[in-house]
Chains A and B, each alone.
Chain A
Amino acid sequence: MDFLAEGLRRAAHLLFTADPEVTGVAWLTLKVACTATVIACAIGLPVGFALATRPFWGRRATLTIVNTALAFPTVVVGLLLYGLLSRRGPLGGLEWLYTWQAIVVGDVLLALPIAAALSAAAVQGVDPRIRRTALTLGAGRWRTAWTIAREARFGLAAVVTAAFGQCIAEVGAAMIVGGNIRGQTRTLTTAVALSTAQGDFGLALALGLILILLALLVNVALQLLQGEAGSHA
């Protein structure tokens, strides 16, 4: 039990002393997770919306693919992305391998199915009369979509939270395409993995606690935003 107490003590110490290395890792983690969440949601929410509302050929197959993608192992995604971004890969020219951008791409690929599948489910849960009512009252396509999204806003907020959770907790792909380079691509999750491998369990636990704290703070912020929007409904 000593190492648990040690971990808590070190976490508190690292937080209160604002250790520059830990601060840098935490900041990079937050930057990567937020960027990836924004990109994944910007693409995934409209895709989910279309899957839920637009009858098109191959819709069912697309939904099946998106739902299957939810279960993609992160290391496999990392491996595929590594192949694409490596010098000999088709995207080698970008020179993104072992950069934070590569981690963002990996996170986006993993969060995208979550954003698409969960937002499709949230929108499908909206009473179909809402759409018909908006249309019959003279709303255009975009206004109708906005009205439906407003009705599904608690579900859609959960989508953003889940996508963020995926991005901030991701380790497999980040390790493969980021390389866990100190000061450059080391995130909290990869740092935890490294510290554990090196036997520094106290530091690993401390970093893990900081990661949880960070996730908690962002989720509280999202909930506050949601509450703010709710009060104007």
Chain B
Amino acid sequence: MLELRDIRHRYEGRTVLELAEFTVPRGGFTAIVGHNGSGKSTLLRLLALLERPTAGEVWLDGRRESAPGRRPTLAARRRVTLVEQRPILFRGQVRANLGYGLMVRGVGGAEVNRRIDQAAERLGVDGLLDRTRRELSEGEIQRVAVARALAVAPDVLLLDEPVSSADRAAAATLYQVLEEERRSRGLTVCLASHQLEDAYRWSDDIRALAEGRLSPVTPENLFRVNLPAEGGEAKSVRVGPVSIVAVTDKTGPAILAVPPTDILVSLEPIPSSARNVFTGRVTRLSRPRPGTVHLTADVGIDLVALITEAAARELGLVPGSPVALAFKANAVRVF
């Protein structure tokens, strides 16, 4: 449905996105995962036809809509709506915000109020309709922004970290509404998130972005596994040549995720409560942002740990250094 072809997008002389191909299938729920600065938001703005790529093309339903020197049509823009990570509301009341997209489409009178009330009720913001943006919390603004986007019933809804300020109940409500929209009218959803749990639970396709490029593997430390029935709650799960201990009552196919921030890095194993301790060698050190080091180690499988620049320096870590990685069984997420 929405397609990026041969995209190379630059900001101030720096290439921030480079994608040979990226497709959002009709009626699908695509999740884009990646770190801050990986290019997720830029990708969504290109898909939303809000920015024209420096090079390459954006296609919608077989029609080239956006390219250098080619401005997308209003009709195309009205089919795709983006909710930004930190959405902003216009001056005025929430009700006027929810009606904005309808007003610019020339929808009038009772129909506007009906659709405003419907969208507000579904996202649980019907009690906020008379408030202004200054009277709302960040989570409420996010919900209002999603309701505002849904009020215009777009064909494609793009969401950038839509639940970053929401509590779990509000997040669950949002995903349920999206699911209903998909079922009832074939809404296409593409969502950028760093919350892997949500991505795995709700999406039917996950793409990982790293430094503006599609990453062949989903982000760090994700493993498709088969959870054994035996072993009680702390299960020893085979991941390639190693075993990872995870606390779960699930069985069968699942995904294990080990957050890079939960991995303790040392030069050799140290006594601790961690049930998972691996030794190996550093294969890569990258610095996605100042002060932060992504350490990739081969311990039989590739594991990525996030450490500070100071820690890497003090441990004298360089590619090839022997290293020990440890994490608790409780740190392992199971989806």
What is the interface of chain A, defined by CB distance below 8 A to chain B?
Answer: 127, 129-130, 132-140, 143, 147, 150-151, 233
Contacts and interface: CB of A to CB of B under 8 A. Distances in A.
B146 interface: no
* Contact residues of A: prevailing secondary structure: helix
B153 to A, nearest CB: 11
Given A139-B104, A140-B104, A143-B104, A133 B77 contact: no
21 contacts: A129-B86, A129-B87, A130-B90, A132-B45, A132-B84, A133-B87, A135-B50, A136-B80, A136-B81, A137-B104, A137-B149, A137-B152, A138-B74, A138-B77, A138-B101, A138-B104, A139-B104, A140-B74, A147-B90, A151-B91, A233-B92
Contacts of A133: 84, 87-88, 90
B121 to A, nearest CB: 20
A136 B45 CA distance: 9
Q: Which 7 A-B pairs have the closest CB atoms?
A: A137-B101, A138-B78, A129-B88, A136-B82, A139-B104, A233-B91, A233-B92
B116 to A, nearest CB: 13
Interface of B: 45, 48, 50, 74, 77-78, 80-82, 84, 86-88, 90-92, 100-101, 104-105, 148-149, 152
Nearest to B89: A133
Contacts of B88: 127, 129-130, 133
Nearest to B72: A135
Contacts of B92: 233
Contacts of B101: 137-138
A137 B100 contact: yes
Given A143-B104, A233-B92, A135 B77 contact: yes
Contacts of B74: 138, 140
Contacts of B77: 135-136, 138
Contacts of A147: 90
A137 B50 contact: no
Given A136-B48, A137-B104, 12 more contacts: A130-B90, A132-B84, A134-B104, A135-B77, A136-B81, A137-B148, A137-B152, A138-B74, A138-B104, A140-B74, A151-B90, A233-B92
B274 to A, nearest CB: 43
Contacts of A130: 88, 90
B79 to A, nearest CB: 9
B146 to A, nearest CB: 12
A212 B33 CA distance: 62
Given A130-B88, A130-B90, A136 B50 contact: yes
